[in-house]
Amino acid sequence: MAEREIPTLRSTLKDMVLARTSLLYLLTDEDRRMEAEIRALGAAFKPPFRVYIWSCTTGVTLNDEPVIPNPSIMEALDWFMKIDESAFLMINDIHVFLKDNPPVLRKLKDTAKRIESSYKTVFMVSPVLEIPTEISHDVVLMDVPLPSLDEVEKLLHQVISREKTRDGLQASLTEEVVDLCTKAGAGLSSQQIIQAFRKTFSGKNAITSKELDVLFEEKRQIVRKSGLLELIQLDMNFDDLGGFGNFKKWLTQREDIFTKKARQYGLAFPKGVLLMGISGCGKSLCVKAISAFWNLPLLRLDMGRVYDGVEGTPEECLRKVIKTSEASAPCVLWIDEIEAGIANASQKSLGGSASRILATFLTWMQEKTSPVFIGATANNIELLPPEILRKGRFDELFYVELPDEEERAEIIRIHLSRKHLPLERFDYPPLVKTTEGFNGAEIEQGVLGALFRAFTQKREMTHNDLFIAFESIVPLSITMKEKIKTLERWAHNRAVRAGKN
């Protein structure tokens, strides 16, 4: 079965030009990349299209030479609509000139009409989506995706070929190294990619695992600075998740789902899962385990940040998140406590906006074809709007319960192993009994408490230390009995048990 060809940015732009698009709004903050793309696009036509660039300081230029020195945008548009050639005009930061500026809006409408039958396109580049209604029918919007893996790879070769130590660097470019570098660049803008590659490789004679670590750390920093997403460094293995039998079965059945072979079978990528249940039962751990299982990068979204306005409007934030995660695909997008953002937003009387954001998000979930797997968790299901639970959004809703006896034994063993304690030193039946009603977090807390007790007494930790530590913990489930009951009742027909059947 042939795979569907994925259109590149260049081919999409070309199609728009061939369709005689007059006004094209490119939503992106990568104006340098756009300039390079548009120049390359112009050069690909026979005969080549000239690429004119307008700015409010230099007027219209062609290859940096002035054409119309008058800096007025009105003059520039006037001139462009009249010239007798197939050509492009690029305008950066167009939103600034569209705002409360009726003459420019009128001029753009006139330009669109005048050039509609010729191969002339005005590329209007802007980092924000602000198209006044007056011209919304005349403008075609394109939300420019971040560089694809192929583009990242090109940038890698470009950066390396300009380094003084290029011979050594090039010699270490095995297929695997290229693949890792490309993945490190995915999800960043072209400027960020170039800077990260330069910073990492400059003056280096080879790309070893050390350079790759530096590169990934650099990427983590860049992503963190964006304020919305965090690239999580996994501190666990898949086996560190105790219980979750049913969930693990679900995952195992889909082990190869992100492979080419699955694609050739015509299988769609899974969309994601929602894990619900009281806190401390391992929902967050489970999302990490998903990323470990498929060996995919894990991006955590801070839903609160989407709504708090610091990083822009919620709509802008969501768009950025979608762009970054799609460019990083295949990846796991972790939305921890998905209800928190929604609840905060309604408190801030952002109610309308909150549901709009959620609607956009759900639409994306439903329509997305890219391999972005969403791992969402929720503690308070009553705060979740019903539409999030409707079929077609998540592949499955899982309900996480307190671990039963067998699961508790497993979780105790996991946390003892994590501390490198010999498992045969402990007698499990009494430990399992005394941890009745405990969640995984409380079991972990008990192990740490016992370890601390032994440490302060300068001796090895014993079974007794652990037993005493467990005895002293009052599990959350005692005070939350009612809540757990409500949750269980709610989940009964709506969700699948993550633990045992």
Ligand X SMILES: Nc1ncnc2c1ncn2[C@@H]1O[C@H](COP(=O)(O)OP(=O)(O)O)[C@@H](O)[C@H]1O
List the x/- string, 284-313, binding to Mg ion by CB under 5 A. x-----------------------------
Closest by alpha carbon to 145, among 43, 234, 13, 53?
13
Q: Which residues contact 354 (CB under 8 A, 6 or more apart)?
A: 307, 314, 341, 342, 345, 346
CB of 334: closest distance to ligand X in angstroms?
11
CB closer to Mg ion out of 24 and 397: 397
Report how far residue 76's alpha carbon sits from residue 104's, in angstroms, rounded to the nearest whole number: 11
**485 membership: H or E segment, kind and range:** helix 481-494
Eight-class DSSP state of 2:
P
Report which residue's Cβ sits closest to ligand X: 440
Closest by CA to 185, choosing from 289, 177, 162, 163, is 177
Task: In whole angstroms, give the CA distance from residue 338 to residue 343.
Answer: 9
Please, which residue, 279 or 355, has the CB nearer to ligand X?
A: 279
Shortest distance in whole angstroms from residue 285 CB to ligand X = 3
Distance of closest approach, residue 287 Cβ to Mg ion, in angstroms: 8
Residues that bind ligand X (CB under 6 A): 241-243, 279-285, 377, 411, 414, 440-441, 444
197/399 with CB nearer ligand X: 399
CA 325 – CA 323 distance, rounded (Å): 6
CB of 284 to Mg ion, least distance (A): 3
Residue with Cβ nearer Mg ion (30 or 337): 337
- Provide the minimum distance between the beta carbon of 497 and ligand X in the complex, in angstroms, as a whole number: 13
> Which one, 218 or 401, has the nearer CB to Mg ion?
401
**How would you list the strands of the sheet with 120-126, edge to edge?**
65-68, 59-62, 50-55, 87-92, 120-126, 23-27, 139-143
| Least distance (Å) between residue 332 CB and ligand X | 15
| The entry of ligand X, Mg ion, none that residue 499 binds, CB within 5 to 8 Å by partner kind | none
Residue from 383, 393, 145, 323 nearest 315 by CA? 323
- Of 282 and 341, nearer to ligand X (C-beta) is 282
Per CB under 5 A, the segment of 207-215, 281-289, 348-356, 422-430 that binds Mg ion is 281-289
Binding residues (CB under 5 A) for Mg ion: these are 284
